[in-house]
Amino acid sequence: MLIFEHSRSGRTNPVQAPRGEAAKSDIPQRFRRRHRPLLPEVSEMQAVRHYTRLSRQNYAIDTHFYPLGSCTMKYNPRGCNTLASLPGFLGRHPLAPTPTHGQGVLACLFELQEMLKQVTGMQEVSLTPMAGAQGEFAGVAMIRAYHESRGDEERAELLVPDAAHGTNPATAIMCGYKVREIPTDAAGDVDIEALRQVAGPQTAGIMLTNPSTLGVFERRIHEIADIIHSAGGLLYYDGANLNAILGKVRPGDMGFDVIHLNLHKTFATPHGGGGPGSGPVGVGKRLLPFLPIPVVGRKGGSYYWLTEQEYPQSIGRLSAHMGNIGILLRAYIYIRMLGAEGIERIAEFATLNANYLMKRLAQNGFEMAFPERRASHEFILTLKNEAKQTGANAMDFAKRLLDYGYHAPTTYFPLLVPECFLIEPTETEDKATLDGFAEAMSAILQEARTNPELLKQAPHSLPVKRLDDVKAVRKLDVVWRG
Amino acid sequence: MPFIPHTADEVREMLALIGAQNIDELFSEIPLELRLRESGKLPPALTEMEVGRLMQERALQDSQPLCFIGAGAYEHHIPAAVWEIAARGEFYSAYTPYQAEASQGTLQLLYEFQTMMASLTGMDVSNASLYDGASALAEAVLMAVRVNHKSKSRRVLMPMTVHPVYRQVVRTIVHNQGIELVELPYCTECGNTVPDSLHRFADEDFAALIIPQPNFFGILEEVDLLTDWAYANGILAIGLVNPTALALLSPPDEWGGQGVDIACGEGQPFGAPLSSGGPYFGFLCCRESHVRQMPGRIIGRTTDTDGKAGYTLTLQAREQHIRRSRATSNICTNQGLMTTAATIYMALLGPAGLEQVAACCHAATRKLVENLGAIEGVEMQFDRPFFHEVVLVLDVPVQPLLDRLAQQQLLAGYHLGADYPELGNALLVCCTETKSDDDLQQFITLLSEAMADLRRSRC
């Protein structure tokens, strides 16, 4: 039932609304609304019951194992939420004067900048991008501003591996670049020879994820950096997979000129049903002048905003204020609770869990895309043989996993591995959960062999059965009309 | 180990199965010369209690002053149930609903959100959110340029009465695609974009005109005339609106004879705490004919194999994970949790409650204006209808005044000097429903005292 179907005309919640007879008659008629919007008229309890009921139709980290590859669905510590929600933080207006009413929050943000510099090996960090894709935008816009500042305006091409996240090519286009795809070799690394062929005076840079979206570490990263830098281009690091290498190797040391981080992945801030995220960017020396503003500065023990004055060549502002500060505070609290050792353990246990689960699934007869490689924090399994033998494809396996109480891994990405699952368990899952998942996969494989229809019709035990996505597009219904 | 459940025995068993001596061996593919040799210089780990103490101190440092600043972020009462429900783990710790059958809660809620926003703006369709109001306006500009096939210019008319930072953000986001923003001046006596001033652009080619309502000064623009002018000249109209104000003001779909093509804005007034500027959310609604050029997630209703209604991400062929370099935008993660709060906020208030909030905001601002006579040296800058913000001109310099009042825990408004130097000592003041008569009295008293002191010290 929709909330609108609980609605009855004339029902109000006067205790939620402000008191008083509010005259509005001095607003001239020509500006005024003539009929009320279609908002529900429900009691507080009806609203609470309705949305509580809806919440229970979700799989979430707090309720289910959620091994969605490339999304780093790790536990979101409750303490981060509670402490970021203290009244002093929630109530602070973005334009409140920083000398008298902002030193507390700015101290946290300044320290977060410093800590992110430490863990990434970059020279300076701007926290302002509001999600990974906006961080990517900021990074590529800085690359463009850098070339333009040198009068080097022939560089119209950005190189993107074929396994990259869709946001990479989409971002390149938003920044006015052409995209050139670089193929992957059989072992899962960037095809270096192909890269040599295309890198040249038209190359603005390359966007890379390392470990790549294929779940393996790009071993020849130094060579790639040399090729791109010799051609006059810059290296962009997509931080989606930073969880795999925290404390082990830093993007700055690998030769990257600019990076973005996904705090909602690596630093345990909530995914919130699709955001808010946070996508800080870090830069090396070359891109320092172009950082998006504002950045937090410190002088004589007090904190203040660095703006156009300090960064006259900045690419500019990306949000009305300074991004998703409430999310930045959560990441700050998380890092403070972990400390240097805790940060290093993240990559260790994320990698341990991924390699363990990969081995268990391989022992159970599943085929890995890169069996001879170490998994990073995630790995790829291909169901192409199972699909051929049983008729049940990766999507059918994914939907059946839901019946077993597991959120499905990422399916059909990266596009170059057929019928694939990208599986990322994260460090916060225990061995028993991983064992349970591996057993469920085996049970489903058995089902696929004996009764593939069971998979093709799945899920069976959720609030709805398999949904018709084609109909959702053909008979577009995106607004309830009663 | 914080947030890591493994026991030493389990680690041994897991390594044995993998066939590795130790965890370090799992990183053997990373070239040795790249490996970090020492732990970074991060501060030592704190317990939850210790970090709690630190954060309490920091939050107290920022205190809770009496705040009359608006300028794009508005203090409203948030019903207790909003975040009690939105912070449930099932909403808080879920991700983008890629597996629709396991995400019906989030999906249905977003479908309800789209319905509410479409109804509030009067538009046919809404997306499921963008980052914030400023970036939503930038996306609306990009979308308008894609949609308006008649225009070849990639030029967009941007009134100076649009939030100055929004104008900067739009520029940052669109200029690499060769889109030019042409500034429209405003009337310094009335504080609005004068419709007649547009006539000089009549022979030029533009893709879109942005129309803010209310504008950055809190002033109501002549939206009907502006929209009609855009339509008559083959220019798309983009309405930039405050969602609270929409409970009182005519929806953008009804502006002029045809209504606007795209309506967007900042969703913060609906349930998002001020929180130093974020997380908030942007919204974007449009005519159904433009829906395939929309950026961001859109939820559709469909049926399952039993014919039962259900919800799913739809029109994904617009999006980066499918269309890659040909996507309508690079946006992936949006502001899901904030729209969750906004949906519950709208459901709790309902049409009457929301109208009451908007009317009380306006009434409080009106009351403040009526009481300004009690302060020497304060005038209203503009004499035109307003919503919940007004521009005051003072006979003393604004910055020292604001500094002084901040010491007394009063944030009296936003200094317009840097963005609009032509207005002189101008202060943008906002009253929402949170301001009681006592608060207004305190504003009047502290402001007149501080102004008198400043005047004395200048003599």
> What is the value of ipTM here, to two decimals?
0.98
| Contact check, Cβ <8 Å, B278/A276 | yes
Model pLDDT, residue A81: 98
What is the rounded CA–CA span in Å between residue A119 and residue A125? Answer: 11
List of domains in chain B: 8-54 (no CATH), 66-75+351-458 (3.90.1150.10), 80-345 (3.40.640.10)
**Best mutation target, A429, A464, A470, A480, to test chain B (most B CBs within 10 A):** A464
Q: Could you tell me whether strands A420-423 and A410-411 are parallel, antiparallel, or unpaired per DSSP bridges?
A: antiparallel
Cβ neighbours of residue B53 under 8 Å, at least 6 residues apart? none
Minimum Cα–Cα distance from B300: chain A residue: A478
C-alpha pair distances (Å), B106 with each of A253, B348, B408: 40, 18, 44
HEC letters along chain A: CCHHHHCCCCCCCCCCCCCCCCCCCCCCHHHECCCCCCCCCCCHHHHHHHHHHHHCCECCCCCCECCECCCCCCCCCHHHHHHHCCHHHHCCCCCCCHHHHCHHHHHHHHHHHHHHHHHHCCCEEECCCCCHHHHHHHHHHHHHHHHHHCCCCCCCEEEEECCCCCHHHHHHHHCCCEEEEECECCCCCECHHHHHHHCCCCEEEEEECCCCCCCCCCCCHHHHHHHHHHCCCEEEEEECCHHHCCCCCCHHHHCCCEEEECHHHHCCCCCCCCCCCCCCEEECHHHHHHCCECEEEEECCEEEEECCCCCCCCCCECCCCCCCHHHHHHHHHHHHHHHHHHHHHHHHHHHHHHHHHHHHHHHCCCEECCCCCCCCCCEEEECHHHHHHHCCCHHHHHHHHHHCCECCCEECCCCCCCCEEEECCCCCCCHHHHHHHHHHHHHHHHHHHHCHHHHHCCCCCCCCCCECHHHHHHCCCCCCCC
* Residue pair A353/A425 in contact by the 8 Å Cβ criterion: yes
Would you give per-residue pLDDT tens digits along chain A (482 residues)? 999 999 999 998 999 999 877 666 789 999 999 999 999 999 999 999 999 999 999 999 999 999 999 999 999 999 999 999 999 999 999 999 999 999 999 999 999 999 999 999 999 999 999 999 999 999 999 999 999 999 998 999 999 999 899 999 999 999 999 999 999 999 999 999 999 999 999 999 999 999 999 999 999 999 999 999 999 999 999 999 999 999 999 999 999 999 999 999 999 999 999 999 999 999 999 999 999 999 999 999 999 999 999 999 999 999 999 999 999 999 999 999 999 999 999 999 999 999 999 999 999 999 999 999 999 999 999 999 999 999 999 999 999 999 999 999 999 999 899 999 999 999 999 999 999 999 999 999 999 999 999 999 999 999 999 999 999 999 999 999 98
Of A270, A341, A413, the CB nearest to B93: A270
Q: How far apart are CA B318 and CA B295, in angstroms?
A: 7
In the predicted model, residues of chain B with pLDDT beneath 70 are 39-40, 459
Q: How far apart are CA A222 and CA B360, in angstroms?
A: 62
Phi, psi torsion values for B407, nearest 5 degrees: -60, -30
Residues B164 and B216: beta-carbon distance below 8 Å = yes
Whether residues A431 and B6 touch (CB distance < 8 A) is answered with yes
Residue among B253, B198, B252, B249 nearest B220 (CA) = B249
Phi, psi of A218 (to 5 degrees): -75, 100
Cβ distance of B55 and A83 shorter than 8 Å: yes
The whole-angstrom separation of Cα B245 and Cα B359 is 9
Query: Cα A336 vs. chain centroid, distance in angstroms?
Result: 21
CB contact under 8 A, A95 and B73: yes
- The chain A residue lying nearest B355, using CA atoms, is A36
* Residues 6+ positions from B110 with CB-CB distance below 8 Å: A273, B97, B128, B297, B299, B311, B336, B339, B343
**Between vectors from CA A414 to CA A412 and to CA A416, what angle results, nearest 5°?**
95
Cα angle at B209 between A276 and B112, to 5 degrees?
Answer: 40
Contact A88 B58 (CB under 8 A): yes
Substitution target in A30, A51, A356 with the highest count of B β-carbons within 10 Å is: A51
Class of residue B257 by CB neighbours under 10 A (exposed 0-12, middle 13-18, buried 19+): exposed
What domains, with CATH codes, occur in chain A? 3-16+29-55 (no CATH), 80-338 (3.40.640.10), 346-469 (3.90.1150.10)
Give the whole-angstrom CA distance, residue A214 versus residue B161. Answer: 49
Cβ–Cβ < 8 Å for B132, A320: yes
- Nearest one of B285, B196, B190, B278 to B246, comparing CA atoms: B285
Residues 6 or more apart in contact with residue B150 via CB below 8 angstroms: B234
Output the pLDDT for position B314.
Answer: 96
What digits encode the pLDDT tens for the residues B315-333?
998 988 888 888 889 999 9
Helices and strands of chain B, counted as H and E runs:
12, 15
pLDDT at position B459 is 67
Report pLDDT for B39. Answer: 66
Nearest by CB: B278 against A66, A87, A319: A319
Residue whose tokens read 């001033």:
B197
**Distance spanning both ends of chain B, measured CA to CA:** 66
Residue in chain A closest to B331 (alpha carbons) equals A133
- A231: distance to nearest CA of chain B, Å? 22
CB-CB contact of B274 with B263 (8 Å): no
Q: For residue B411, what is the DSSP state? A: E
**H or E element, residue B282:** strand B282-286
Q: Do B58 and A108 touch (CB under 8 A)?
A: yes
Q: In chain B, what's the furthest Cα-to-Cα distance?
A: 84
Query: Which residues of chain B have a CB within 8 Å of the CB of A37?
Result: 116, 119-120, 246-247, 251, 351, 354
Q: Residue B200 gets which letter from DSSP?
A: G
HSE of B94, CA atoms in CB hemisphere, 13 A: 31
Q: Is B218 left (phi over 0), alpha (psi -120 to 50) or beta?
A: left
DSSP per-residue codes, B88-135: SHHHHT--S--SGGGBHHHHHHHHHHHHHHHHHHT-SEE-S-BS-HHH
Neighbouring residues of B216: CB distance < 8 A, sequence distance ≥ 6: B71, B72, B161, B162, B163, B164, B428
B333:A478 CB<8 A: no
Largest CA distance in chain A: 76
Of B91, B348, B387, the CB nearest to A272: B91
Taking all residues of chain B, what is their mean pLDDT, rounded to a whole number? 96
Q: Which residue of A has its CA nearest to B16?
A: A356
